Structure 1
């Protein structure tokens, strides 16, 4: 996997934290358990942390399909750049170049993953790591197994996002190296497949 995501270790000039997300997935796999509804959507979590760019002093860019003008305005007012996901997802190379040209990733997780503490982690975030791009991602319990330190920082609050941005900016080269090392140690195809086969008894 990491061979496909080799990128310049240096922070790209004028690069920002980015991510790619489908905004309107709620309803597809929402579940109700013990009287509580758990959404199959990131939109509520993104809205919870809409102030993150302004509070951290960073511009965040999100490739997503927000159609509600009021919501778009609220994001733009808080220093988000919103772009169409279609222009970079129609081709693998465009998608790869977008990630490699980013400073890192900032993203949230779906409501279900967060509230149920599932340990979920994004395959897209693994691509950022493989490209040597640090990731700031909402905690779902995955730090019990990996991450939470250099290269991959988690958050549960707005203040933790601000701290994560400061930490990465203080030594970007260190976090870039750590991101790629984590991708090799945890997400390299050979290691993942070997683990699956071993557990299957093959």
Structure 2
């Protein structure tokens, strides 16, 4: 594959936390490992979500410094830019270098619809959308189309600004999948994992037990086709008694909820034997996050109701780094088991009984499941394979564009 100049957009500076960093960082890192000329440009037109104590609500300093450090740690210290909506300033690359990068880029990879379009991005020959939140993404588009007017016009223009559409919904387009596709040709992909960065020698010793990292509710339920579509809090009810039934240690990092009803739900979890850990220090940056994952015995993961109800085929990028670390994963099946083998290394669960059986299986045959976990990560999530597949579609797109251009030049 020829070397390309590729720009990646994401949310590292806006969400300066360990998990989000790995979610987006492995795109530029993985492309760099493939030998491409890669830049990361964060241009969300959103005000900073996190600030250091005492900073103004619109001060992006904390996020910018965090992004600067993260990029330096992967050898891309001079290959990033952060465009700040509050001040209009660009941090990292100079304005002239940013302009030159965009003018000479072959591909723009827009992860999680993070980038707001500017003319310089639109002119890049191939623009790719990576939908990391299947069904939620399409529902938002559905809402805009229903609203009509300028909202619909803007949303349609934004989507049509892309040339290729990829989704983590591995089951999209299949008869049992309920995700609306609209007029877009959705291709499937998975979270790219730079597996060499997660590999570690086998050990059955761990500081933590069955762990995971989650939000209880990220957003309110929504109504689609007359039904309610919800978050992890609904699915977790099925497994409340798992620590008691399995007699194993379960430690979950959850942001403490802001409302009283959700706080009570977290207290109910603790009463039933769940250890609720604070994200502070444990996953505050990418290295802490990695250490937490690799210090865990295995992952027990609850999935958002919407991913399950839509039969999306979504599989967690967080679970994928557990696998790459040789940590078995127990997680609910969104139909991902059609595309990723289940049973060894990663076990599909649906209710309390299947979860308890999976816990017993992993604890009784840990080395087997640990080795299988690592093998699945390398076979199904390796960044080299996933990103090469995406770029193979880019090559096809460029060939079609060239053929069309040549056809238009044939005299009639």
How does the TM-score come out when normalised to structure 1?
0.92
For residues 93-145 of structure 1, the C-alpha deviation after alignment (integer angstroms, 9 at most, x for no partner) is 10000000000100111110011111000000000000000000011000001
Does residue 70 of the first structure (1) align with residue 70 of the second (2)? Answer: no
Confirm or deny that 1:42 pairs with 2:232.
yes
Structure 1 CA distance for aligned equivalents of residues 362 and 245 of structure 2 = 15
**One of 180, 201, 206 as aligned partner of 1:8:** 201
After TM superposition, the structure 1 = structure 2 runs for residues 1-202 of structure 1, keeping only pairs within 5 Å, are: 1-13=194-206, 15-27=208-220, 30-39=221-230, 41-67=231-257, 68-200=262-394, 201=396
Distance 1:90 1:129, change over 3 A: same
Deviation at 1:197, TM superposition (A): 2.2
Moved segments of 4+, more than 4 Å: none
Give the C-alpha shift of residue 73 in structure 1.
Answer: 2.5
CA-atom RMSD in angstroms = 1.5
Query: Which of 1 and 2 has greater Rg?
Result: 2
Q: Structure 2: how far apart are the matches of 1:8 and 1:73?
A: 37
What SS does the aligned partner of 1:87 have? coil
Unaligned runs of 5+ in 2: 1-193, 398-412
Alpha-carbon distance between aligned partners in 1 of 2:207 and 2:318, rounded to the nearest angstrom: 22
Structure-1 separation of matches of 2:206 and 2:332: 26
After TM superposition, the structure 1 stretch with the greater mean CA deviation from structure 2, 162-171 or 42-51, is: 42-51
Whole-angstrom CA distance in 2 between matches of 1:56 and 1:45: 18
- How far the C-alpha of 1:76 sits from its partner, in A, is 1.4
Higher share in helix: 1
Q: Secondary structure at the match of 1:88?
A: coil
Partners in 2 of 1:193 and 1:70 — Cα distance?
43
Asked whether the equivalents of residues 207 and 295 of structure 2 are also in contact (C-alpha less than 8 Å), the reply is no
- Once the two structures are TM-superposed, the CA of residue 45 in structure 1 deviates from its matched residue by 1.2
The answer as to whether partners of 2:214 and 2:253 remain within 8 angstroms in 1 is yes
Number of positions where the alignment pairs a residue of Structure 1 with one of Structure 2:
199
Of 160-169 and 190-199, more deviation after overlay is shown by 190-199
Q: Quick check: 70-79 or 178-187, which moved more? A: 70-79
Change (3 A) 1:43 1:2: same
Alpha-carbon distance, 1:14 to partner:
5.2
In structure 1, stretches of 5+ residues that fail to align are none
TM-score relative to the length of structure 2: 0.46
* Alpha-carbon separation, structure 2, partners of 1:11 and 1:80: 22
Contact 2:328 2:370 in 1 (8 A): yes
Structure of higher RCO (CA pairs closer than 8 Å, 6+ residues apart):
1
Within 2, Cα distance between the matches of 1:187 and 1:179?
A: 11
Quote how far apart the aligned CAs of 1:64 are. 0.3
Structure-1 separation of matches of 2:334 and 2:290: 25
